[in-house]
Amino acid sequence: MFSSLNRARSLLSLIRYYSSEVLPQLTKDRYPNIKRGNYAVLTQDHLQYFVDLLGRNRVLNDPSDCETYNIDFIKSVRGYSQCVLKPQTTEEVSKILSFCDEHRLAVCPQGGNTGLVGGSVPVFDEVILSTTLMNKIISIDDISGVLVCEAGCILEELEHALGEQGLMMPLDLGAKGSCRIGGNVSTNAGGLRLIRYGNLHGNVLGVEAVKANGQIIDCLSTLKKDNTGYHLKHLFIGSEGTLGVVTKVVIHCPQKPTSLSLAFFGLESFDNILSTFKRAKKELGEILSSCEMLDAQSLNVVKTHLKLKSPIDDYPYYMVIETSGSNEQHDEEKLNRFLEGVMGDGLVMDGTVTNEPGKMRSIWDLRERITEALMYDGYLYKYDISLPIKDFYSLIPKMIERLGSDATRISGYGHIGDGNIHLNISVPKFRQDVLKKIEPYVYELTSQLKGSVSAEHGVGFRKPPYIHYSKSQNSIDLMKDLKKMMDPNNILNPYKVLPF
């Protein structure tokens, strides 16, 4: 009796402990310097308009219902929006935005809410416009490989639907099970296949978006070539919902490869990674579809927190190389020659290779689930940086030296093929002094090396003050002009992307 009571008590305190841990501090409290814009506060009348437009079920205003929409995936920021809208059509989005524009209500567009820079959640009480119910595939053309779909389609579901037609998405990322294509396009998401298929500016053929005033911009071209006037679609790709809300997209999809292999390597030095990458490009050529690296700390985090198993013994660095093509024999021959070469020359110390889907999944998990695993460490300072390839890993030793025992773990992994490293510094709990040690130091270093302070995650809420490390003042001014022209009342995703 006594022991069960005790257990219940300790369980309760555990729940309390975790629930208080789980809720991050409100953004307005953690960043007191940022002031709420001069926007209207949501009233009953506003809500009534939304309910009349969308029906009771597609307007959430219960605080507990709104909570998950207010917190980002890595629990680094939290808004306090009291209203989540779930439109199903472009017309509804248009009506919502024109109403909000007229009544000066700030809006935060949100897809799968898997962003890593706090761009997809409100900073204060912005109305959340969720694309979750705009999830219809409009058409798939198996000859031209053109997909037309609504913004709320989940990446993995698109992948499955395309797979039935022998096609695939040109992008793949760890969050594919939850992220939505509208968000991918709005943030110009990169991911694991970028090395082969390029980024979304190349793969998106058309976009339909709604401007802040509710005007629908139909650039929904399905043509591969269309040089008529300014390429407006690019304004909506990567502008993170600050210039318009993407409602539909047209994507050019490559043929799904019929032959796939995955290799996992252990290496002794970063130089050997570079040499292996160079040889992979040369010897694997067109079948190289992914080239990733992770350091020992990154592998340790998935081994420790997710209990995943490494195929090989411990090394300071690891690589994941994927090949895909249309002829198994041809690919295998190339891959084998490459493997024998890099092993024979001592670049790769140990490794494994497989073409079995189940095993490939397990190996990809080692790389793709690092972000998820890192969250078990506590609070994460995340940096997503592009660097000239020779300097790819140079930030990590510098950060280790600078932070010493302040950090639980400092790890680097990423897309070596694209010169894009994810630097993660984990601490048990958020600490302002640690943040000050990291920023702006990490951005200064990046700038000195002529890198980008945001390679694929975007600017979002967390990086506007640092955009100047990668963009000239004139460029930033032009961005501000564009913003002013397209969203004069600044209702779309305020406090994001552009420095104030």
Partner 1 sequence: MARVLVGVKRVIDYAVKIRVKPDKKGVITDGVKHSMNPFDEIAVEEAVRMKEKKLVSEIIAVSCGPTQSQEVLRTALAMGVDKGIHVEVSGPDYETLQPIHVSKILAKIAQQEHIDLIIVGKQAIDDDSNQTAQMTAAVLDWPQATFASKVEKGDKELTVTREIDGGLETIKCKIPAVISADLRLNEPRYATLPNIMKAKKKPITKITPQDLGVDISPRIKIISVDDPPVRQAGVILPDVDTLVTKLKEGGHIP
Distance, CA of 491 to CA of 487 (rounded, Å): 7
| Residue 497 near partner 1 by CB under 8 A | no
- HEC-encoded secondary structure of 334-353: HHHHHHHHHHHCCCCCEEEE
- If phi > 0 it is left, if psi is from -120 to 50 it is alpha, else beta; for residue 19 that is alpha
Q: Which two tokens stand for residue 51?
A: 């309910």
Return the residue of 7, 330, 361, 431 that touches partner 1, per CB under 8 A. 361
3-state secondary structure of 246: strand
b/e map 462-484, b = 16+ CB within 10 Å? bbbebbebbbeeeeeeebeeebe
Q: 56 vs 225, which CB is nearer to partner 1?
A: 56
Binding of partner 1 by 359 (CB under 8 A): yes
Pick 142 or 340: Cβ nearer partner 1: 340
Q: How distant, in Å, are the alpha carbons of 56, 182, 234, 446 from that of 147?
A: 32, 13, 18, 37
CB-wise, 311 or 419, nearer to partner 1? 311
Applying CB under 8 A, among 357, 388, 397, 428 the residue interacting with partner 1 is: 357
Q: How many residues does the chain have?
A: 500
Phi, psi torsion values for 332, nearest 5 degrees: -65, -40
Give 264 or 381: the residue with its C-beta nearer to partner 1: 264
Q: Of 235, 339, 374, 467, which one interacts with partner 1 (CB under 8 A)?
A: 339
Instruction: Report 29-68 residues binding partner 1 (CB under 8 A).
Output: 56-57
Pick 249 or 353: Cβ nearer partner 1: 353
CB of 366 to partner 1, least distance (A): 11
Closer residue to partner 1, CB minimum distance, 100 or 168: 168
Residue 460 CA, chain-centre distance (Å), reads 11
Site string for partner 1, 220-259 (x = CB under 8 A): --------------------------------------x-
Is residue 332 within the footprint of partner 1 (CB under 8 A)? Answer: no
Piece of the chain touching partner 1 by CB under 8 A; list 8-16, 33-41, 199-207, 342-350: 342-350
Does position 280 interact with partner 1 (CB under 8 A)? The reply is no
Q: Where are the beta strands (DSSP E) in 242-316?
A: 245-252, 259-267, 288-295
CA–CA gap between residue 479 and residue 459 (Å, rounded): 13
Q: Does 388 bind partner 1 (CB under 8 A)?
A: no
Contacting residues toward partner 1, per CB under 8 A: 56-57, 258, 263-264, 309, 311-312, 339-340, 343, 348, 350-359, 361
